[in-house]
Structure 1
């Protein structure tokens, strides 16, 4: 992200309070990181790319900021707010990790199409990631981000999404939901048979998202 105005708007949307711990995954060159600083919070910003980490380390100096190099999804620190402008190829991984973590809210920039998958209401079109997100978050699209705000400009439309945490689920349930959707063309009896369990009549599309997570929790036991 190269737009200071867009970065400031994203940071403002995070609702950061003094004393919060903020986790940013994907420091990049620090456009968003700079806007997160100066709000009285502890900022943990993690960058995997060595070159970007080096450039950010040389240019970012603000109180309360901890720059780290590595996998942001391996961070074990607790945090209150999650903020990220990740490569869009990492969006699914980010959501699957966040449903397992205990925090208050997240502000993430994602591809517009991915946001639609998270919030899909039609049972025939929903994906596993949408079921997981809908079970664990209250979600809303806050605003679009113009392609010109990025360098290089992406070929897709981008939006900022707010994730307000409702509940947390373990990794075993995440894997079970993904497993269930890999058999979605089967009946529920056929799906449960794949996991060595007894299933009732009907199909996956007949269940609500919360019911699907309940089935996954039974499988994961």
Structure 2
């Protein structure tokens, strides 16, 4: 039986079916087809959680193959839906923990492996992935990601310890392209920089909207994310805090973004708080605006634009700010 992460989900899962309703798992054996039984089965009325079931079996296999699974791997799957990916993962991995928010889908996944050797290799957790604590141990993550949790999922994975080996993640194509964007491209952004500081990210598969039931309004892409091991010794809140400023207007100068309303006041407050905890000889009388200009000049980014700054540029700038006690979180 699935493990529920809250009493709420547990009650939903255990509720008796409404009179006349179909068995949610009744069509599991043909989940990739388009039979009338599937179309009338309430499990495929996915509007409640906005799910789009990946039905193309060839695409499912390509996603699983991209993970290069080993027989000893423990896999975490996010959003298994009716289990089309799950059963293929179970064929290659030692164990799968599937995290699913919709109890109907969880029941469908369990139904598909009942009475088979794969049943012992599967655990289903009912709940919102973003709120599940602690996450299970896993070497590989595979996800047909609910689009509304795309960004939280990425950063929860990157902050998870111990580090996983690889994540194969499907996203809305625009989001995926922002993850893999490079400096100087139109899609290079704070998101791109924050993710690429901690992981190598590649776009590996484009997925047609017609591979889903019901078809979403957007195209999808699958990315491969490999954490940098060991991770850089950079506090994420500091890097992201600086990038919030630098990328606020990516095509404007960095100096112009630091001159935006409220930025200098925030930096001055942060610096005062930091100095109060230090025993250092620093000149506290230099106005924060002059100090920022001095740093930008010294590192050569007074007239730079975030749209063209790479990870090394951003790290160099952050280090220079830290040297004079300017912090961003």
* TM-score bracket for this pair, using the shorter chain length: 0.7 to 0.9
* 1:176-195 → structure 2 map (5 Å cutoff): 176-183=238-245, 184-185=248-249, 187=255, 190=259, 193=264, 194-195=266-267
Unaligned residue ranges in structure 1 (runs of 5+): none
Larger relative CO (CA 8 A, sep 6+): 1 or 2?
1
Out of 159, 170, 188, which is 1:100 matched to? 159
Query: In the TM superposition, what is the alpha-carbon distance from 1:141 to its structure 2 partner?
Result: 1.5
* 1:1-221 → structure 2 map (5 Å cutoff): 1-61=54-114, 62=118, 63-73=120-130, 74=132, 75-101=134-160, 102-123=163-184, 125-167=187-229, 168=231, 173=236, 175-183=237-245, 184-185=248-249, 187=255, 190=259, 193=264, 194-195=266-267, 196-197=270-271, 199=292, 200-201=295-296, 202=302, 205=306, 207-212=309-314, 215=318, 219=327
CA contact (8 A) 1:23 1:44 kept: yes
Query: In the TM superposition, what is the alpha-carbon distance from 1:177 to its structure 2 partner?
Result: 4.0
RMSD between aligned residues: 2.9
CA separation in 2, counterparts of 1:170 and 1:65? 36
Query: In the TM superposition, what is the alpha-carbon distance from 1:116 to its structure 2 partner?
Result: 1.5
CA separation in 1, counterparts of 2:129 and 2:232? 19
SS state at 1:78 partner: coil
Query: In the TM superposition, what is the alpha-carbon distance from 1:170 to its structure 2 partner?
Result: 9.1
Query: In the TM superposition, what is the alpha-carbon distance from 1:176 to its structure 2 partner?
Result: 3.9
CA separation in 1, counterparts of 2:189 and 2:94? 35
Taking structure 2 as the reference length, the TM-score comes to 0.59
Q: Higher strand fraction: Structure 1 or Structure 2?
A: 1
In structure 2, relative to structure 1, the CA distance for the partners of 1:12 and 1:125 (3 Å cut) is closer
Q: How many residues align?
A: 220
CA contact (8 A) 1:128 1:177 kept: no
CA separation in 2, counterparts of 1:108 and 1:52? 19
Query: In the TM superposition, what is the alpha-carbon distance from 1:204 to its structure 2 partner?
Result: 6.0
CA separation in 2, counterparts of 1:171 and 1:34? 39
Unaligned residue ranges in structure 2 (runs of 5+): 1-53, 272-290, 297-301
Q: Select the structure of larger CA radius of gyration.
A: 2
